[in-house]
Structure 1
Amino acid sequence: MSTKTLGKIAIYGAVASLLGSGYCYKSIQDNIAGAPYYRKTMSILRNHSGAVEVLGEPIRSKFLSLSSYNNKMDGYNAQLQIPIKGSKRSGTICSWSSRKDTSEEWYVEKVDLELRGSNRQVTIYLGSDDKSTVDEFDN
């Protein structure tokens, strides 16, 4: 084989590898975003009037950092740090969820909101009750 042919094979192989990696990354992100603990967390955020007021609508989530030690999921516990963006501000939602058995539904235990530029986390959900509002944040 000539060097030119080997070079073409290497380039096509690299392109195929990059496309495959991108597809896998997107598939993993979609699987996480479709999980009940993720959907429930985002629903809690979008239904919290103080958070919606501070962030602005629409509130969108961004890709999770798959390499972050703050994102841990197994069959019984899920701890997520979800980057979010509203029309006014952006930040991070931290969520803790659990279940006792894999046949049970996920229970969201706590949801905290941290706005970009702020070093404080405000609990917007604790168990089944609203714990506090986000009005404490400086706009």
Structure 2
Amino acid sequence: MDDSNELVVKKSWWDRNWKWFVPTGCLSILAFFGLFIAGIFFGITYMFEESDAYKNALNKVQNNPNAIEKLGKPIETDGMASGNIHTSGEAGNCDLQIPIKGSKGKGTLFVVATKRGKWKFEHLSVYIEKTEEEIDLLASDPQPISATDSITE
């Protein structure tokens, strides 16, 4: 009779588990990266939408008869704004392109403003995609809007 005293070698944790650990680790890294990018995206979007310049510009276009005639009611945002806003205390500047839509069509709201206590629009216009025309929102109302003006929804 053969008496076998062979040692059974136990596999290490890595040898036993690498087949599920590697894909799970890679997917976790991808998920973390995706959440990071989404956080940046929504953080920037929130920063734009909460700025007084953004709110006031949107208010101007929502109350402009020419824009309402071309785009229809209600006029609302249609995606993520692009551009930049920089503020430092009571000073700042803004250069935004805000996609908008109404019941009749789509357009882009262009905003260029500076802040010295209050936001003052230097350029505020709507480009209507359907007719390829631009409506100057400052021509009909040359008064600057301040952050204390009421904003209607």
TM-score (norm 2): 0.71
Query: Please, which moves more after superposition, 84-93 or 3-12?
Result: 3-12
Distance 1:119 1:49, change over 3 A: closer
- SS of corresponding position for 1:18: helix
User: Larger radius of gyration, structure 1 or 2?
Assistant: 2
| CA deviation after TM superposition for structure 1 residue 96, in Å | 1.3
- Output the CA distance in 1 between the equivalents of 2:73 and 2:36: 34
Distance 1:46 1:37, change over 3 A: same
Q: Gapped runs of 5+ residues in structure 1?
A: 66-70, 130-139
- Output the CA distance in 2 between the equivalents of 1:117 and 1:48: 18
- 2:96 corresponds to 1:85: no
2:70 counterpart residue number: 54
Distance 1:118 1:72, change over 3 A: farther
Post-superposition, which runs of at least 4 consecutive aligned residues in structure 1 deviate over 6 A?
A: none
- SS of corresponding position for 1:25: helix
8 Å CA contact 2:111, 2:121 repeated in 1: yes
Report the identity percentage: 21
Which of 112, 115, 119 is 1:96 aligned to?
Answer: 112
Would you tell me which structure has more strand in proportion to its own residues?
2
Q: Gapped runs of 5+ residues in structure 2?
A: 1-13, 145-153
TM-score (norm 1): 0.78
8 Å CA contact 1:44, 1:125 repeated in 2: no
1:41 counterpart residue number: 57
